[in-house]
Amino acid sequence: MGSPFSLYLTAAGIKELTIIDNDVLDLSNLQRQILYNESQIGKDKVNSAKEVLSKLNSDVQINVYKDFIDEKSIKKYLEEKDYDFIVDCSDNFETKFLVNKIAIENNLRCVISGIKDFYGQIITINPKKTACYQCVFSEPIEAPPEEGPLPVIGVTPGILGTLEALEVIKTALGLPNLENKVLMVNLIDLRFNIIDIVKNESCFCSK
């Protein structure tokens, strides 16, 4: 999701984009991570991302950090400068809950999306005002170990990552967005359903 998200926001001319990722590019990533190409295999993803995005739009300030996101590391980056949004493009529930928590605690607008094979979901959060990720999904769901990593069809993160970019642009412009809503995307039947959600008064975001 980070590939289409960063490409569209950079192309749109967002002022500044900070990318945090700890991974190295593998051949198997290329069926979905369209930001990269074969010549970058074996290299740090953040540096390759900066290389590609800077060539797309040299007016956008691209900051990259090769790091794994956890409660301690993210604090360091938040102290460095003021951000308007935090967007989850991760592939695991633990990070999505962490990003949600960081958004609420630091009063950052937030977009979180998740995918599995042909399905996806996406939510936008306005801290203290709208329902948060944890209001809807009460705790991280661990995939049973026998399932292995979630299967991914390349187009699914392409669509959901593009929708994340759309949400940031629309939210920044004050246009209708996915606050207090979850958009469920079903790419097998090509159905998009919006479920209205309400802020959970017993959730940590209401305290």
| Site residues for Zn ion per CB under 5 A | 132, 134-135, 203, 205
Least spacing, CB of residue 58 vs Zn ion, in Å: 39
Least spacing, CB of residue 180 vs Zn ion, in Å: 11
- Pick the closer one to Zn ion by CB: 63 or 106: 106
Least spacing, CB of residue 174 vs Zn ion, in Å: 23
Please count the other Cβ atoms lying within 10 Å of the Cβ belonging to residue 110.
27
> Could you tell me which residues come within 8 angstroms of residue 111 by beta carbon, excluding any fewer than 6 positions away?
85, 87, 88, 122, 123, 124, 125, 164, 167, 168, 171, 178
Taking the C-alpha atoms of residue 45 and residue 42, their distance in angstroms, rounded to an integer, is 9
- Pick the closer one to Zn ion by CB: 108 or 205: 205
- Pick the closer one to Zn ion by CB: 115 or 132: 132
- Pick the closer one to Zn ion by CB: 24 or 203: 203
Give whole-number Cα distances, 192 to 7, 68, 119, in Å: 23, 32, 10
Q: Hey, what are 67's tokens?
A: 């790091």
Least spacing, CB of residue 34 vs Zn ion, in Å: 33
Least spacing, CB of residue 59 vs Zn ion, in Å: 36
- Pick the closer one to Zn ion by CB: 36 or 85: 85
φ, ψ for residue 204 (rounded to 5)? -60, -25
From the number of C-beta atoms within 10 Å of its C-beta (0-12, 13-18, 19+), residue 20 rates as: middle
Query: Any idea which residue has 């009460």 for tokens?
Result: 138
